[in-house]
Structure 1
Amino acid sequence: MRHTIALVDDDRNILTSVSIALQAEGYATRIYSDGESALKALSENPPDLAVCDIKMPRMDGLELLRRLRESPAGATLPVIFLTSKDDEADEALGLASGADDYIAKPFSQRLLIARIAAILRRADLTRRIAAGEDGNGPGGEALPDKLERGRLTMDPARHEVTWAGRPVSLTVTEFLILEALAQRPGVVRSRNQLMDAAYHEDVFVDDRTVDSHIKRLRRKFRLADPGFAAIDTLYGAGYSFADD
């Protein structure tokens, strides 16, 4: 199935370059230069995924997503936000609004394409499950089982995470990093190993990127449990998950 990706950004260069890159990967694309022009089109004829800038004139990405979530067609639309570099306020607002992931500008097109592919795989599996189809993936492979480690439960097929029964909302990247840690409790995973688990092999990210994701993971779990301490740091070596 050929997926359709909507791109919403007031930067014409980004719209053009990303659209060309996605089409080269086999995606169909639709482009919009602001949130206001995108709202009606995405509500009436939703794509499979939307990539939206947050800071735009007329209607910013946060307001666009809020309005989309109010419509039946846009309620479950996967969305990736493009944010200002190192702007944690933008990231927090975007995820609180229901975005699936965020990428800071300037960004690698390879990274964006890898995130799009990962989110679409999960969205396709979720649709199959909701439709009552068999318990296999699109290619006939068995869906991954739930992962339970102490108070942590992860459902890869549905991209759901709970801690002591409380839901924790994670981006795809955060989910993959946590999954890599939780699969082998007590085993120290280097930053390189965590990058390999979370990113496409052709995408380069530095050590600070993984450290930032670990920081956000801890912050999110501490909202569910202020005493959360299941992710340990071994300085100079990496991180591990404590199966308490």
Structure 2
Amino acid sequence: MNDSPPSAGPPDPARILVVDDDLTVGEVVAGYLTRAGHLVDRAGDGDQGLALARAHRPDLLVLDLMLPGIDGLEVLRRLRASEDGADLPVVLLTAKGDEADRILGLELGADDYVTKPFSPRELVLRVQSVLRRSRAAAPAASAPGPLVSGDITLDPQARRAHRYGNELLLTLREFDLLAFFLRHPRTVFPRQELMQRVWGWDFGDLSTVTVHVRRLREKIEDDPAAPTLITTVWGVGYRYDPVTDEKDGPA
């Protein structure tokens, strides 16, 4: 690992919890994140990681999937099922051949992943990208103010969304994706463009977008298997089709 860490630290250091049972990997990751200006806590197994995440809520969790005790997927599952961990930003560390687990991690609500063996610098940049999104009062290039579409209401500044008056438990990326769709109704976006404009990435696994669209559908569609709000335009991408009624504002 000969990468040099980013030279300039973030203006607002984050508290990051790194959960990995490999001491060498954990030390390298913690070292690079510390040199990037962050405060780092470490855990060596799933039980300890879950306890630390609940006791001292970090700003972001770097989570290895292969852990002794409860594995990373179970840690993520339990966090997402709890009120205090539903929107905790999570970056997964996955093995190169564990595609099924990586997809499942995204389906459970992970915000990003890095595949081992990885560049520590890439990990730091991914972490900082997720942190920027989580700290934004509203997605970039958007005007403040609530967004209303049918029975969906989204407040970018408070980062809260409701449907039928009930709050939607959205992860960081799900919230930003929904906000983007609400601001750009009836327009088809390829997955690559969504990755660039919502994730802020010029590269990456496009299945990340697919999984997040599927998860968002499960939370806002009456029938996720037959979606009417976020529709697939085959061979092109996805389009948000708002419900047309008196509550909708101008397109």
Map of 2:88 onto structure 1 = 78
Map of 2:130 onto structure 1 = 115
Map of 1:195 onto structure 2 = 195
Post-superposition offset of 1:7: 0.8
CA change 1:159–1:214 in 2 (3 A) is: same
CA change 1:158–1:51 in 2 (3 A) is: farther
Give the TM-score, by structure 1 length: 0.68
SS at match of 1:197: helix
1:215 aligns to 2:214 (yes or no): yes
Distance 1:3 1:117 in 2: 10
Alignment of 1:162-241 (within 5 A): 162-201=162-201, 203-222=202-221, 228-241=227-240
Post-superposition offset of 1:81: 5.5
Map of 2:246 onto structure 1 = none
1:106 maps to a residue whose letter is: T
In structure 1, list runs of 5 or more residues that go unmatched.
96-100, 126-136
Post-superposition offset of 1:28: 1.9
CA change 1:57–1:49 in 2 (3 A) is: same
1:28 aligns to 2:39 (yes or no): yes
CA change 1:150–1:113 in 2 (3 A) is: same
2:62 maps to a residue whose letter is: V
Distance 1:174 1:211 in 2: 11
Post-superposition offset of 1:13: 4.2
Give the TM-score, by structure 2 length: 0.67
Map of 1:130 onto structure 2 = none
CA change 1:85–1:18 in 2 (3 A) is: farther
Could you give the per-residue CA deviations for residues 64-101 of structure 1, whole angstroms, max 9, x where no partner exists?
9859x98xxx7789351626533355555x54xxxxx3
% identical aligned pairs: 26
2:189 maps to a residue whose letter is: R
Distance 2:188 2:143 in 1: 27
CA change 1:181–1:7 in 2 (3 A) is: same
Distance 1:209 1:78 in 2: 18
Tell whether the 8 Å contact from 1:34 to 1:56 is kept in structure 2 after alignment: yes
Tell whether the 8 Å contact from 2:218 to 2:224 is kept in structure 1 after alignment: no
Alignment of 1:4-15 (within 5 A): 4-15=15-26
1:53 aligns to 2:55 (yes or no): no
1:198 maps to a residue whose letter is: V
Distance 1:46 1:185 in 2: 36
Alpha-carbon RMSD = 3.7
2:30 maps to a residue whose letter is: S
2:59 maps to a residue whose letter is: D
Map of 1:157 onto structure 2 = 157
- Aligned length in residues: 217
Post-superposition offset of 1:194: 1.0
Distance 1:233 1:76 in 2: 27
Q: Which one scores higher on RCO, CA 8 angstroms, separation ≥ 6?
A: 2
Could you give the per-residue CA deviations for residues 147-199 of structure 1, whole angstroms, max 9, x where no partner exists?
11222211223332223333332222222222222102112223232112222
CA change 1:204–1:59 in 2 (3 A) is: same
Tell whether the 8 Å contact from 1:48 to 1:77 is kept in structure 2 after alignment: no
Distance 1:25 1:191 in 2: 31
Post-superposition offset of 1:36: 4.1
SS at match of 1:195: helix
Tell whether the 8 Å contact from 1:6 to 1:51 is kept in structure 2 after alignment: yes
Map of 1:128 onto structure 2 = none
CA change 1:86–1:43 in 2 (3 A) is: closer
